[in-house]
Structure 1
Amino acid sequence: MFFKKNICVLILSILSFHLYSQKDSTKVKNEKVEKNLFVQEGLYKPLAPAKAAFYSAIFPGLGQIYNKKYWKAPIVWAALAIPTYYYQTNNSEYKRFRTAFRLREAGFQDEFTLDDGSTTVSDTTLERAQKQLRENRDLSLLSGVILYVLQIVEASVNAHLLQFNTDDNLSLKPTFIMDPMLFDAPKVGLTFKYTF
């Protein structure tokens, strides 16, 4: 009995020495993070995503330039120019057909009425054209607003992702391993291996 107690005490003392010899990795990491946050602001900038979103909200594409993704700014400008162009085109055509419809309803001559009094466009065509052009105009406005919000979100998310450590050790390397025993009836599987 005495021998068992001595062995237990010996094992516990050896384990306790081993436990005290380890460094607290979370404490070291927290000290490094605090140093970066408040002293040098090198790796982690907590206001960077908010700034990128703010700049994109003020002028589209400016958040992408702030993130140093210069190639994205012309894409944003083109993406917002297309719905703007279609909005203006559809709006001017809608006003043209609306004016012609109002003049015809009031009994005046419109641009689609010939000199002899005949019309090239019927009343129902004028009504349908107004309806279709109004829908296209509203759809262009909606798509422009959606693209505007998406470019703000993209700038903010990109600013968040720029702060992550992405080195070559964080990669995916698929490999195929053939089992010689199951060559006639191959099996498919997925294996993840990770190291720290």
Structure 2
Amino acid sequence: MLNKQLFIFIFITSLTIVHCFSQENGALNVNDTDFGNSNIYNPLSPSKAAFYSAILPGLGQAYNKKYWKIPIVYAALGTSIYFYSSNNTNYNRARTAFKLMKDGKPHEFDGVNGNILLSEEALITAQKGYKKDRDLSLLVTVALYALQVIEASTNAHLLQHNVDNNLSISPKLIKNSINQRPIVGAQINFNF
């Protein structure tokens, strides 16, 4: 317990003594900021990025000049579309075999001519499983499509924020005016 209190005391003391900056010392010129340049701020940029991304997946990321995200978008959408197609094909195979079994006709899973033998219950279970997986794959595909549209819009919005070099920590030692003892506390100031 004493070690913890000692650590906290040393930490707070070091913050009050040391004056830290995250950039070089010097005056900040007005030309260093992007606030005055009206070409930087475009309120329609997020909606354009979302529109482009909705028309063609990855186009919103290209509009934001984040070209490295395009292969990720297509890999995610392609994988989910592949699983949808595969599950749909297997569902249709099991459904066709079940219908042919009910009609008394030969089918893919009848056990004749080297085919595997599946019972009626196995075909019903396969249909249910493949249908559930197909529907889940469709849901994932739609969610990934919406996610890439939202990501393009959010990225375009965040690109317009000014992140300048005026980010600093400036701790102060505040003394009590009555007894001149330091006051322990923390304060966060945001300057706009």
Please state which band the TM-score falls in when normalised by the shorter chain: 0.5 to 0.7
Instruction: Tell me the residue number matched to 2:8.
Output: none
**Cα displacement (A) at 1:192:** 4.7
Q: Matched residue of 2:118: which SS?
A: coil
Q: Where does the alignment leave 5 or more consecutive residues of structure 2 unmatched?
A: 1-33, 172-183
Matched, 1:86 2:112: no
Q: For 1:114, what is the secondary structure of its paired residue? A: coil
Equivalent residue in structure 1 for 2:138, among 141, 162, 167: 141
Mapping 1:26-105, distance limit 5 Å? 36=37, 41-105=38-102
Give identity over the alignment, percent. 52
* TM-score normalised by L of structure 2: 0.68
Cα displacement string for residues 31-76 of structure 1 (whole angstroms, at most 9, x for unaligned residues): x97x75xxxx411101111110000000001000100111111111
Structure with greater helix percent: 1
C-alpha displacement of 1:131: 0.3
Aligned to 1:157: 154
User: Deviation at 1:112?
Assistant: 1.1
Amino acid at match of 2:73: V
The size of the alignment, in residue pairs, is 144
Distance, in Å, in 2 between the alignment partners of 1:100 and 1:195 is: 68
User: Shift of residue 193 of structure 1?
Assistant: 4.1
Per the alignment, do residues 96 and 156 of structure 1 end up closer, same or farther by CA in structure 2, a change over 3 Å counting? Answer: same
Give the equivalent residue in structure 2 for 1:113.
110
Q: Distance in 2 between matches of 1:109 and 1:190?
A: 83
Task: Return the alpha-carbon distance in structure 1 between the equivalents of residues 185 and 84 of structure 2.
Answer: 50
SS in 2 for 1:147: helix
Larger radius of gyration: 1
TM-score by length of 1: 0.66
Q: Which residue of 1 aligns with 2:164?
A: 167
Per-residue deviation, residues 53-111 of structure 1 (Å, max 9, x unmatched):
00000000100010011111111111111110000000000010100000000110111
Runs (5+) with no aligned partner, structure 1: 1-31, 176-188
Q: Distance in 1 between matches of 2:123 and 2:96?
A: 10
The DSSP-based 3-state class of the residue aligned with 2:165 is: coil
The runs of 4+ residues in structure 1 deviating greater than 4 Å are: none
Checking the alignment, whether the CA contact within 8 Å between 2:111 and 2:118 is kept in structure 1 is no
Shift of residue 115 of structure 1?
3.2
Distance, in Å, in 1 between the alignment partners of 2:131 and 2:124 is: 11
- Superposed CA deviations along residues 167-190 of structure 1, whole A, max 9, x for unmatched, are 23347x7x9xxxxxxxxxxxxx99
Question: What amino acid maps onto 1:44 in structure 2?
Answer: Y
CA change 1:121–1:75 in 2 (3 A) is same
Q: Give the letter for the 1:160 counterpart.
A: H
